[in-house]
Amino acid sequence: VSNSLFGMGNPLLDICAIVDKDFLDKYTLKPNDQILAEDKHKELFEEIVKKFKVEYHAGGATQNSIKIAQWMIQQPHKVGTFFGCIGKDKFGEILKEKAKEAHIDAHYYEQDEEPTGTCAACITADNRSLVANLAAANCYKKEKHLDLEENWQLVEKAKVYYIAGFFLTVSLESILKVAKHASENNKLFCLNLSAPFICQFFKDNLMQVMPYVDVLFGNETEATAFAKEQEFETEDTKEIAKKAQALPKVNSKRHRIVVLTQGKDETVIASSDKVKTFPVLKIDPKDIVDTNGAGDAFVGGFLSELVQEKPLDQCVKAAHYAANVIIRRAGCTFPEKPDFK
């Protein structure tokens, strides 16, 4: 049904390039990381365009996942709704255009104080270091957009909600309003840990939302950072999944599910009574174009089945399929139609 999947987050234009180690070192970037741009990264955005061959792709973690879910579902159009903030500029127009092409129902809060946000995706071999300059994305305001009746009606139409942890740095009150709505109406609220820095520096915001989380996503590095901050005293992915699953939860009608990916290693899922592992689809390393978007695609595939009320193993199967397709391509882009059963 249209608008049954709702996402809210940072709409960014990805500036993707294959770079070299010197470039990473110059800006003290880890090969595989996600960070927010600081003053020392100002030049990075100019240099990457001058020095390397760049491609521009519509990005932003949550928006990517909603698009992938829509692509997996195909029909009807506009199953996925997306809210976020952009600038009144060329990059903003590109994001609107790309959202239309992906058949998602994007409702952007448009303001002219800040330009549309960008994300430098610095690719080396099968690693990607992401540096996000949120700009406009950071200007999302609950009272200016989410609270407006015509927008809130779209929130109420949804059955499944997904927000990447990245949005915790922008508008905690917007996330809590959506999370509480989901919890009070026994709908599914899903959150992603998104990055080690979210688990470390935005832990208070994260833990305010956690009691409302029905499905928690993350990868192994995020899980380790989360476990350390929460004093779980373990680095074992299965143990972390179990402990995160058991954290306090408001809506007791649903048990939390924790889904942790580990790159080429098996995916770990903790539900109320057990921890299961699911192997990923095999891929020849030389077929990997870039892993930027793999995590977003995984979530998108998962959500596409979740919103159709399919069993957990089918959700994981779709997640692995979508991630496998995306890593063979540049950026978070996809072929015309999925080939998934």
Of the candidates 284, 296, 313, 339, the residue annotated as catalytic is: 296
| Contact call for residues 137 and 10 (beta carbons, < 8 A) | yes
Q: What is the pLDDT of residue 331?
A: 67
Confidence of residue 292 (pLDDT cuts 50, 70, 90): confident
Q: Give the mean pLDDT of 109-125.
A: 95
Neighbouring CB atoms inside 10 A of 277's CB total: 15
Residues near 301 by beta carbon (within 8 Å), at least 6 away in sequence: 68, 69, 72, 315, 318, 319, 320, 321, 322, 323, 340
Is the model's pLDDT at 40 over the cut of 70?
yes
pTM above 0.85, yes or no: yes
Return the domain boundaries, the chain: 5-11+59-116+135-327
Q: Give the mean pLDDT of 40-57.
A: 93
Q: Give the mean pLDDT of 5-22.
A: 96
Confidence of residue 99 (pLDDT cuts 50, 70, 90): very high
Which token pair is 76? 């009807």
Give the pLDDT confidence of 267-291 residue by residue, as tens digits: 999 998 799 999 999 999 889 887 7
Confidence of residue 18 (pLDDT cuts 50, 70, 90): very high
Which residues pair with residue 129 across a beta bridge?
33, 122
Which residues pair with residue 160 across a beta bridge?
5, 188
Q: Give the mean pLDDT of 98-104.
A: 94
Angstrom distance (rounded) from CA 152 to CA 237:
37
Neighbouring CB atoms inside 10 A of 68's CB total: 31
Angstrom distance (rounded) from CA 236 to CA 324:
25
Angstrom distance (rounded) from CA 179 to CA 26:
40
Angstrom distance (rounded) from CA 190 to CA 210:
10
- CATH number listed for the domain at residues 5-11+59-116+135-327: 3.40.1190.20
Strand locations in 220-291 (E): 257-262, 265-270, 275-278
Neighbouring CB atoms inside 10 A of 32's CB total: 16
| Beta pairing class for 80-87 and 105-111 | parallel
Nearest-10 Cα torsion for 236, 242, 248, 253: 160
Give yes or no: 20 in active site: no
